[in-house]
Structure 1
Amino acid sequence: MRKVLDPLTGNWRSIASIGTNMASYDAAVLNGKLLVNDSWLWPFYVSPRGQVYDPITDNWENMAVGLREGWTGSSVVVYGHLFVVSELERMKLKVYDTKTDSWDAIDGPPLPEQICKPFAVNACNCHIYVVVRNLHVAVGHISRLLSDENSDEKWSCSVRWHPVKLNLCSVVGEYVAELLVESEFAASGFGEVLLMGNAEGD
């Protein structure tokens, strides 16, 4: 099942088939396109796969090799850049470079030691929220390191992690992170909501 919801009319409509089955996947909206990748399970037992959906043309295309092979965790988009919190514990946060089709580890420490998989990841403004069992939370603040406009250097950034221990009676407020549902994922980013399921025939 591949459908999009128009929030203005409240109507769902079908879109083009992705053309492949992904039992487990991660997704993100970047530059107006939906990226769907199933390489986030580690170690790789099959070659990583990924598809990119363009809502303007209603077409899917193969994901760039570097993007899909380096997508080894849960993703968020901050400042218009794709970040991945790696499934490999104690790895640094990394960001995707669209110009070179490569991933770069960003400045700053890895996740705090008490933050280990499985986890859920989300972002709001310049913060990344990683939630694990027992309501352990790590909040990562992303800082942009701006270079000279005339410089050829890459856009760069750094992260500072702040561990937070919550309890069921606390008011979690800004530390609430939306947990991903195992069987379906709703992604927004281009004025519509896309619903993806694992039904036979997708």
Structure 2
Amino acid sequence: MNEDFYKQGLEKAQQKDFVAAIELFNRALQTNPNWDAVYYRRGLAYFDTGAIHQAVSDYTKAIELNPQYTEAYYGRALARVVLKNLPGALADVERAIVLNRNYAGAYNLRATIHRKQGNIHGAIADFKQAAELYLEQKDQENCRRCLSSLQQLQPKPKTAVVQSVTTKPAPILSAKDYFTQLIEKAEQGDTRQAMEDLNWILKADPQDAKAYCCRGVV
């Protein structure tokens, strides 16, 4: 019966009915209080309802029951970022990477944590690693997002215009804007890096006509 509650909980979570999912996971845990996967899934549901502290508690319980639970470390790291506990988040995501060296999402999250901590060099290295792993996994959308984040971290050319201190952070680039910046990078002399970025995109999506056009220009 507890297996049925778990499966029903997964279905409710898939339908984004997280309150119902939590109730079903509660019922599954009543018959098996040492089921690590249920704590993890309930933690995800709590996170999606905004109950971040409860999510952390469930991820922690899952880790106590299964110290090799990579996804639980990642989930707790993400929750701790929301709670602004960056040292705790960094420790968790690094543990996830130790357990799975090919965990693209963990490198992506660690890059974000590094950026928030002001470690730009570390952020760049991790965004590159995440992009390479997403590329290998044929996940072109996340690969492009990492490349966009990398582009935003690159040193900007000096201009005579002084920006206001109230300037908002740059938004995530659209594909058009990203290709435009790659061409600008090439015009500034960094042709090699622009070509590498475009080659990554084309490996992820060999049918991307805009990327071919951009590479031709470069």
TM-score band by shorter chain is under 0.3
The structure in which a higher percent of residues are strand is 1
Specify the structure having the higher radius of gyration (Cα).
Answer: 2
> Which TM-score applies when normalising by structure 2?
0.24
Name whichever structure is richer in helix by fraction.
2
With a CA cutoff of 8 Å and minimum separation of 6, indicate the structure with the bigger relative contact order.
1
